[in-house]
Amino acid sequence: MTRPNDLNPWDSPRAFYGAELRGKRKAAGFSQDELGALVFCSGAYIGQMENATRRPPMDMAKLLDAVLHTDGILTRMCEAMEQASQHAEYFRLAAELEALASSICEYAPMIVPGLLQTPGYTRAYTRAARPMAVEEDIDKNVITRQERARLLDDPATPELWFILHEIVLRNPVGGNLVMHEQLAHIAGLIERHRVMVQVVPLANGAHPLMNGMFAIMSFDDAPPAVYTENAHSGQLLDTPTLVARYAKTYDLGRAVALSPDASLAMIRAAMEDFAA
């Protein structure tokens, strides 16, 4: 069972939520494990919400309100937190989990993964996807993505493994200067041993990862989850059999991709092509 930290409930909306949940759970006479059993999760998961290290999804908040007879207050607080998030609605929970993960394994078929993007790359990609957006909205997207990348400041956690299709390296998003800077950033992260990157060469043709982007997130005290995304929506998956299938697919992708050393050489070659 996870013991709640002595958090100040006024530190953040999530801390306030955690304090409210803890108080209402205790008032109802439940331990974390007992409450978890009633809402189909572990006591550790309840503890993470009370510790403000994990924000509950909306369906969990509704279950908690029903079990604790709290007249919808936890659901309304969850709605308020979601509305305050800078991320797209479909990515909010995935962003929460990303910050808690002990390891992340991601496949990118077309676009540099968000955690690896430079501001210039994010700006160019966002402008292409939203040509009519005002500059302020583009700026917000750049800032939000750079805030996500702060987890790279930790020298070891989470462990990050990326498989990129060669198209990611060759598509001149933002032009030559932006791409040169972007590829140099990825190469630098690899050389500092902060990320592991493999490239699937275009010459490989068909390969196990062709169905699109996905990221497998693993945790020290919770089951793994998979996030998948397309142009305007995303989905978080945690069914064990489905997560296992994605993990096997990722392993097959590792097998057909270039070695890390050969991948770094390809990244540097593409970088030099954009410098020409």
- State phi, psi for 71 to the nearest 5 degrees: 55, 35
Mean pLDDT calculated for residue range 61-75 = 91
The larger pLDDT score, comparing residue 53 to residue 67, is at 67
pLDDT of residue 3: 44
Give yes or no for residue 198 having a pLDDT over 80.
yes
Mean pLDDT calculated for residue range 100-117 = 95
pLDDT-derived band at 1 (thresholds 50, 70, 90) equals very low
pLDDT tens profile 210-240: 999 999 999 987 889 999 988 788 888 989 9
Mean pLDDT calculated for residue range 29-38 = 94
- Of all residues in the chain, the percent with pLDDT exceeding 70 is 90
Q: Does the predicted TM-score (pTM) go above 0.85?
A: no
What is the number of H-type helices and E-type strands within the chain?
Answer: 12, 6
Give yes or no for residue 12 having a pLDDT over 70.
no
User: CA 104 from chain center: how many Å?
Assistant: 8
pLDDT of residue 208: 95
Q: Which residue has the tokens 């995303």?
A: 234
| Beta partners for residue 218, in sequence order | 103
In the chain the domains, ranked by start, together with CATH numbers, are 13-84 (1.10.260.40), 89-275 (3.30.870)
pLDDT-derived band at 19 (thresholds 50, 70, 90) equals confident
User: How many angstroms separate the CA atoms of 9 and 105, rounded?
Assistant: 34
- State phi, psi for 124 to the nearest 5 degrees: -65, -45
The larger pLDDT score, comparing residue 91 to residue 159, is at 159
Longest Cα–Cα distance of the chain, Å, equals: 69
Mean pLDDT calculated for residue range 201-207 = 96
